[in-house]
Amino acid sequence: MRRLVVHGCTLIAALLGLSAQAQTITLAGPGNQLGIAVGASGAGVSTVSFTLGSQAIGTPVPQSGAAIPIEVAFRSRAGGAVRTAQLTANPAAAFPNGLTSGANTVPWTEISWTVANTTTNGFTTTVTSPSTGSFPAVFPTAVLISLRCATGNRFCYIQSDYTFSYKNTNVVAAGTYSGTMTYTVSAF
Amino acid sequence: MTRPPLLAPMLLAAALALGATQASAQQTERLTATFSTGRAFAQGEWETAQLRGAEGNDMVIGRVPAMQLRLAIPQRYTSPPKRVRIYISLPQIALGLRASGSLELSWQSGGTFLPGKLRAGQRAVLFEGIASSSTLSDTIAFLIHLSGSDMDANLDRVDIEPIYEIEAL
C-alpha cells in the first residue's frame, strides 16, 4: 500500500508538470478602411475648364470639359456585415452658391456630368451610380455612388470617369468663373 | 478491504501510461512562459494603408511591442547546467482564425534568443546553449502576419499561443 501511495503522488506531480502555462498573443482585428480618390493620382486638386467664345455664350449648347476619374474603395474583414459606402459632393466654403468671378456667380446647377467606364475591377460589389447628374441648388448632392459590400467581401471598389459639362443656359458677364467642389465618402 | 486490490491495477496502468508520456517528454518538455507585460497585444492594421493599387491585398499585420519573454527552466536542466535546445512552435489552431494558412509569426530578440519566424504547425529553435539558471529571458518583439479573410469576424481578434519546449542535448 505504501508503494501505491508513492505512485499516486508521482502521477499527480507529473500531470501538474505537463500543464505548462502558455502565454497568449492577441491580435485585434483592423478597422474597416474607406478610401476615395478624385482625379489623377498625386495631381492635387483636379481642374475641369470650359472655355466659351463670345458667340457660344448662352446659346444654350452645353460645353463639355475633361473627364475626371473618381474611385471609391472599401476594405473590411471577411465575414463582416453588409457595408455601404456613399459618395456625395458639397461645394467648398468659399463657393457656396456657385462659381464666382468677382461679384458675379454661375450657379452650381449649371454644372452637370455623365458617367462612363465604370469598373469594379472584378470585386463583387453592388453599385448604384446614376449615369448622369447635375449639382443641386441645395447641397449636399444626392448620393452619387452607393457601394455595397455584401457579407463576406473583404474589398469593394468602383472607379468611374465623370465628364463634366457647363450647361450654358444663360448669358453671364465676361470673366473667369471658378469654384471648388468637395467629394466625401462615408460608410455605415 | 476489497478496494486496495482494485486500486492497485488502476494506478499501475496509469503509471505505465505515464511512463510512455515521460519517455517522449525526455525528448522535449513544455516550458512555462510569461511575458513581462502580462499580456501581449497588437492592434491589427492593414498591411497596405493605401487603398488605391492595393486591391485584393487584405493582409493584416500586428506589431507586439518589445517585452521580456521569460521561460521557466526546470531544475534538472540547470543543476548541473546542461546544454539544451529550446523550441518555439505554433499550433495549427488559433482562437479567432477560420483558417491558419496565412498566419506567420516572426520575432526579433535581444540576442539571447534567436530571431525567426513560424507558420502554423511549424517549430523553430529559439535558444541553444547552456541552461544555468531557473529563468531564461530575453527581449522579444513579435510581428504577426495573416490574411484578413482568415479572421473570424464574429470574434474580431485572434489569440495565438506559441508553445515553448526544451530538450537536453
Residue A40 clears pLDDT 60, i.e. is over it = yes
Q: d(Cα B96, Cα B100) in Å, to the nearest integer? A: 10
Contact across the interface for B163 and A21, Cβ inside 8 Å: no
**Secondary structure class of A49 (helix, strand, coil):** coil
Question: Which of B31, B157, B160 is nearest residue A20 as measured by Cβ atoms?
Answer: B31
Q: What is the pLDDT of residue A78?
A: 53
- Best probe of the A interface among B57, B59, B151, by most A CBs < 10 A, is B151
Tell me if B6 is assigned to some domain: no
CA distance B124 to chain A (A): 17
Q: What is the domain extent for residue B150? A: 27-168
Distance set, CA A136 to CA A24, A28, A35, A55, A107 (Å) = 55, 43, 24, 27, 9
Q: d(Cα A34, Cα A149) in Å, to the nearest integer? A: 12
pLDDT in tens, B138-152: 999 999 999 887 888
Residue A82 clears pLDDT 80, i.e. is over it = no
Return the DSSP state at A140. Answer: S
Mean pLDDT of B158-168: 95
Contact across the interface for A73 and B158, Cβ inside 8 Å: no
Q: What is the pLDDT of residue B108?
A: 97
Tally: H helices and E strands in chain B: 2, 13
Q: Which residue has the higher pLDDT, A159 or A101?
A: A101
Task: Find the angle CA(A37)-CA(A38)-CA(A43) to the nearest 5 degrees.
Answer: 95
Please state which CATH class domain A31-42+62-187 belongs to.
Answer: mainly beta
Q: d(Cα A63, Cα A46) in Å, to the nearest integer? A: 18
CA quadruple B2, B8, B13, B17: dihedral sign: positive
Tell me if B19 is assigned to some domain: no
Residue B12 clears pLDDT 60, i.e. is over it = no
Query: Which residues of chain B from 129 to 148 reach within 8 Å of chain A, CB to CB?
Result: 142, 144, 146, 148
Q: d(Cα A76, Cα B109) in Å, to the nearest integer? A: 32
ipTM topping 0.85: no
Containing B24, the helix (H) or strand (E) segment is helix B3-25
Return the DSSP state at A81. Answer: P
CA distance A20 to chain B (A): 5
Tell me if B5 is assigned to some domain: no
The answer to whether the CB of A79 falls within 8 A of the CB of A131 is no
When divided into structural domains, chain B yields a total of: 1
Tell me if B118 is assigned to some domain: yes
> Residue B134 contacts by C-beta under 8 Å, 6 or more apart in sequence?
B72, B73, B75, B78
Domain boundaries, chain A: 31-42+62-187
pLDDT interval class at A83 (50, 70, 90): confident
Q: What is the pLDDT of residue B76?
A: 93
